[in-house]
A and B are shown apart, each in its own frame.
Chain A
Amino acid sequence: DAKTTQPPSMDCAEGRAANLPCNHSTISGNEYVYWYRQIHSQGPQYIIHGLKNNETNEMASLIITEDRKSSTLILPHATLRDTAVYYCIVRVAGGNQGGKLIFGQGTELSVKP
């Protein structure tokens, strides 16, 4: 699976949009971009994933560049409860169930009042 690069930490003001970048310049054509987050002392929580089109759900939006070498996770109105470590992971999905998920260092997002 392709490697990802994320900034180690970011701050965001409560109520503002949090934009978390991720570089995955070696991504393959059949690899998806997944985002998970981990709140302190809990298991990771799925946020969103996408292949090449932008995606939106109730939690966040995922913007993937046209060349797919980078992406941005957007939390439109960050709250204090969004303070967590956010992990961007690329891997094959769909018919390849069971493949292992490898975590990088992630971005520690601190939402401040």
Chain B
Amino acid sequence: GAVVSQHPSRVICKSGTSVKIECRSLDFQATTMFWYRQFPKQSLMLMATSNEGSKATYEQGVEKDKFLINHASLTLSTLTVTSAHPEDSSFYICSASLLMGGYTFGSGTRLTVV
């Protein structure tokens, strides 16, 4: 089946630094990818939609200058959390839509900002 590989699985960074999270589609081309964040005991919240070769579309309330999304190829999308602060600590998950319908998800990245 279609697999999205997300890396790293967990990262700890210092406050003020930037962190990049990568999602790769391993055996298919992902024209559209989605980025979610999830706080403890809460549901997934959609942050943005990225289409290959164009600018990402951000959901209301999500700072596009803080959460930089790049989708330069059909197999790779990246999310960079810039100038991270403790409140950015969360579980970040990527997803890709499939041509036949449905979605496949990465395994998630646990970000801890100290």
Contact = CB atoms under 8 A, between A and B. Distances in A.
Interface centre among B6, B32, B34, B44 (most CB of A within 10 A): B44
Given A97-B98, A104-B43, A42 B107 contact: yes
A46 B102 contact: yes
Per DSSP, chain A at the interface is: loop
Contact of B46 (A36, A46, A102): A102
A47 to B, nearest CB: 11
A106 B107 CA distance: 19
A89 to B, nearest CB: 9
Interface string B86-114: 00000101010111011111111010000
DSSP class of B's interface residues: helix, strand, loop or mixed? strand
Contact of A41 (B4, B102, B108): B108
Contacts of B99: 97
A10 interface: no
Nearest to B102: A46
A93 interface: yes
A100 B102 contact: no
Interface residues of A, number: 25
B49 interface: yes
Interface of B: 4, 6, 31-32, 34, 36, 43-46, 49, 51, 91, 93, 95, 97-99, 101-108, 110
Given A34-B102, A101-B34, 13 more contacts: A38-B44, A43-B105, A43-B107, A44-B95, A49-B101, A93-B102, A97-B31, A97-B32, A98-B32, A102-B46, A103-B36, A103-B45, A105-B43
30 contacts: A41-B108, A41-B110, A43-B4, A43-B93, A43-B106, A44-B44, A44-B105, A46-B102, A46-B103, A46-B104, A49-B101, A49-B102, A85-B43, A94-B101, A97-B31, A97-B32, A97-B97, A97-B99, A98-B49, A98-B51, A98-B97, A99-B97, A100-B34, A101-B34, A102-B46, A103-B36, A103-B44, A103-B45, A103-B46, A104-B43
